[in-house]
Amino acid sequence: GITEPTDIQEQAIPIINSGKDIIGKSKTGSGKTAAFGIPLINKVVPKKGVQALILAPTRELAVQISRELGKFGKYSKLGIATVYGGVSLRPQIRDIARAEIVVSTPGRLLDHLKQRNIDLSKLTHFVLDEADTMLDMGFIDDIQFILDLAPEDRVMSLYSATMPTEILRLAEEYLNNPKQ
């Protein structure tokens, strides 16, 4: 149903496709999920393990992102695992084992990492969605811990409605010459 790209999609998709890191500042509802999701679906390879990780601040956003990725990648044969707290780990462990893309909240991802339920060594794309909200919720240390476990040669996308100093510091430390 998408006939015209939004501004963020028009600008972000070519950058991500070229393998460059990106900082995207855009309002909620502006099409950010498609801006990072469509390139991910085109880049990840079926049956090669978790290659893309998307961190979202809330369960609701993680579910929404997964739902949208499912629509965009309907014919791609890619597995998408949605990982968040408040539910059993067992089904998530099964889903992660079959996934190429994982959409997660930071706290639950840490649970899976500590139990070695997820391997980030094949990660080629790392997305922080609503980074400012994650900062407000106190996830900055968790995000840095997760980023330190991810391969350095991954494509990093950071999306935020605002750019507080702490987010800019995070971008400076973990993104490689990002396009804005």
| CA distances to 15, 75, 105, 148, 177 from 65, in Å | 20, 17, 11, 24, 26
Identify the pLDDT of residue 27: 80
Identify the pLDDT of residue 3: 86
Identify the pLDDT of residue 162: 86
**Consecutive 10-residue runs of the chain (180 residues): their mean pLDDT?**
89 95 88 94 95 97 97 94 96 98 97 96 96 92 95 94 88 93
For the sheet containing 52-55, what is the strand order?
22-25, 155-160, 125-128, 52-55, 101-104, 80-83
pTM listed for this prediction: 0.95
Q: Produce one character per residue of 18-50: b if its CB has 16 or more CB atoms within 10 Å, e if not.
A: eebbbbbbbeeebbbbbbbbbbbbebbeeeebb
Residues in the chain: 180
